[in-house]
Amino acid sequence: MGNYYSDLSPDFKKKTVKLKAIEGYSYSKMIRDEIDSGSMKSGEILDLYEAMLMIREFEEMILKLRTGAYESVKSYEYRGPTHLSIGQEATSSGACSVLGIGDYITSTHRGHGDSIAKGYFAIRGMGEAELRARCPEFSSLSGEELIEAVMQDHIFRTVAELFGKESGYGRGRGGGMHIFDCRVGHLGANAIVGGGVPIATGAAMTCRIDINQDNKGKVVCCFAGDGAYANGVVLEALNWAAQDQFTNKKLTSINRGLPIVFCIVNNHFGMTGRAEGEVTGVDYLARRAAGFDNDNMHAEIVNGMDVMAVRDALARAKKMLLDGKGPVLLELDTYRYYGHSLSDPRNEYRTKDEEERWKDVDPVSSFRRRLLDEKIFSVAELDALEKKVARRNALAAARAAESPDPDPAEVIKYMYSDEFSKDVPAPYRKIDIRGPEPTVKRDSEGRINYRDAIKEGILEEMKRDARVVVYGEDVADYGGAFKLTKGLLECFGRGRVFNTPISEACICGTGVGMAMTGYRPVVELMYMDFALMASDQISNQAAKWHYMTGGKMNVPLVIRCSVGGGKGYGGQHSQSLESLFCHIPGTYVAYPSNPYDAKGLIKTAIRDQNPVVFVEGQLLYNVKGLVPQEEYLIPFGEAKIAREGRDLTIIAWGPALPDSLKAAEILSAEGISAEVIDPRTLVPFDWETVFASVEKTGKCIVASQCVDIGSFTGEIVSRIVENCFDSLDAPVVKIGAKNGVAPQAFSLEAAFLPSVEDIVSAARKLI
């Protein structure tokens, strides 16, 4: 596509780089001013107050539950988390009041308020048809009666999730720290500090490029606390969101910044540590923006105790996002009245005087005073609303306490999605081909190599479904470190194929966000070793959201990881780490050993609704094999008998599979008939094929290039012994790399990795 970047020339002339100013606390309007100017109606003002009341009532309920003081459920024993957000009601309500039903939010472990507010304003924005669709059981109701019934259902499902009940938003699987409602764009609260920030960034990437008219004009509001803004993946996400390539006209036809507003909910405490004066070197966290964007990401400091100021800032931010000027960063200056949790007495790190000073500007009581002082509403009107909110919460709590617990027999139900992308929605069937398709050349026998087989599979899926996007380090113009993606950029353009910062956690985290919002990202980690940099986003985010939402949210993400053992790359570029992700329920793990399987498995991975860690052996990239040009898929969980035999079963994957086939040839010359099984996917694993083979042969070897200790080979051995004990004529043997660090020296690496001779020797001993 040519060089789209400006040529760089040395320029060492003396200069001063000036940073732009950041405005703070600029909102000073009266409530009456907003009404008189027509920017707000009195009903919208009352909605703000009701939303804050609902949050305060819910959070105080949690506080009272601990001491049995909440009247409607005095006898209920609550055992969940107690991360209260009392004092922060204005941030949630003010922000969510300007968001549309389909706009997205992500939240924090202290996120009940964000969830309640997002649901409240979404319900207020629904028509009667939408309300009935949300709660069909109320189809006979109308008007305010219908709205109230749906609102009470919202609180009921929030309380039920807090109580771990089947009727909760996540069917009790996620709990309060993971509260969500994808029907109104709430992608989930996150118990990992900062864990939701790259997810929100990925959701904004979907909003930026989505061709479906129904999704255009959506924005993302990312709530995260002050503590999160010292977290690596959060800073990666800020850098990611501010990339020039999103607005560089030479690079993209989608000349629009990411439509995301990062809301720093600065309540002045991480757990107990303070951002200012202790664990950072800045007076305001809004300064963080200067490190990532020449315009400071339009950063602003906002009075987070004033719901009107928050609403005003978010409204202006949303307009900027819709005008293509995102991202935006807002620091919402608020306060957390209680400790990190109720086990934290907070007297060791702050004073009562400090708390009282903040309570003097309490967001709920201060707003009430303003409504009365400016004669917006009467005392009777506000009293009636306060009683209504308290009564609604009490009824919801009582109903939740009495509702059924999840069935223990279904403890791991919803671990994986059983859905598959069989049909592409109409808007995504039209593919915008920007240039020539990359060619995959077959030899005279119709063979291609393993690398090109994966490439052909990805190409076919990108031509089938516009939701499939490919990104990673250097995958665009350069085609990736191993040239596997070469030509995809020219064919599909930079909206669907693009380079990323060297930010493995953010590569995977944004992939989670895109997958949650309907896209099917295929992200590349150059080496599997780097998956350790992204382990939270793979293991705590991608792997868990389907389960924690009770099966209501899918994460169709493919994470391609190359494995470099055997190439002399040393300890940080050579590890076979697939066993780690076999230990994390919620992810699938595929590892093809040949070109035919490589193409069929990558296509299946892209269409599957679960996150897939797709492992590619670099030693296999140049291996050739017959690969049909017509479409085919290989189902996950179906092993292949690569060679039939009667005396011995060898189970192997990756480069250990061709080694096992070579060993079988040697053994055959000695009169030993070895059956070789290629699992193709480690999760799900085809136990039936393995057990049937072992029951036939009575002897078994399990081999891989993983370090022996803790390898998935041990799990296979354990299951074989458990299920085939009576058929075994000898102990099951496992073969792997030495229990050490991969060395660079050729002589040492040859001794470190398992070999054909190791497999042959083990087989001889068994026979």
Amino acid at 685: F
Cα angle: 505, vertex 506, 510; to 5 degrees:
125
Question: C-alpha distances in angstroms, 535 versus 81, 506, 509?
Answer: 24, 11, 10
Pick from 177, 253, 179, 187: which is nearest to 220 by CA?
187
Q: Distance between CA 689 and CA 679 in Å, rounded?
A: 9
Pick from 605, 516, 604: which is nearest to 560 by CA?
605
- Provide the edge-to-edge strand list for the sheet that holds 733-737: 640-643, 674-678, 648-652, 700-707, 733-737
The residue with tokens 């009467």 is 378
- Return the bridge partners of 734, or none: 702
Contact between 537 and 157 under an 8 Å Cβ cutoff? The reply is no
What values do phi and psi take at 570, rounded to 5? 80, -170
Pick from 148, 228, 157, 225: which is nearest to 186 by CA?
157
Question: Can you state the angle between helices 232-241 and 196-209, rounded to 10 degrees?
Answer: 20
Cα angle: 648, vertex 654, 657; to 5 degrees:
30
With 0-12 / 13-18 / 19 or more C-beta atoms within 10 angstroms meaning exposed / middle / buried, residue 67 is exposed
DSSP annotation string for 96-131: HTT--TT-EEEEETT-HHHHHHHHHHHHHT--HHHH
Task: Spot the catalytic one: 178, 186, 573, 583.
Answer: 573
Pick from 693, 703, 594, 710: which is nearest to 652 by CA?
703
Q: What is the DSSP letter of 572?
A: T
- 3-state SS, 221-243, equals EEEEEHHHHHCHHHHHHHHHHCC
Contact between 207 and 92 under an 8 Å Cβ cutoff? The reply is no
Contacts for 433 with CB less than 8 Å, ≥ 6 apart: 463, 491, 492
- 3-state SS, 166-199, equals CCCCCCCCCCHHHCCEHHHCEEEEECCCCCHHHH
- Return the bridge partners of 261, or none: 221, 328
Pairing mode of beta strands 681-683, 588-590? antiparallel
Q: Quick one: tokens of 648?
A: 């011995």
DSSP annotation string for 422-433: -S--GGGTS---
Q: Quick one: tokens of 475?
A: 């995958």
Pairing mode of beta strands 612-617, 558-563? parallel
Q: Distance between CA 527 and CA 524 in Å, rounded?
A: 9
Contact between 644 and 663 under an 8 Å Cβ cutoff? The reply is no
Q: Is 573 a catalytic residue?
A: yes
Which residues belong to the active site?
A: 573
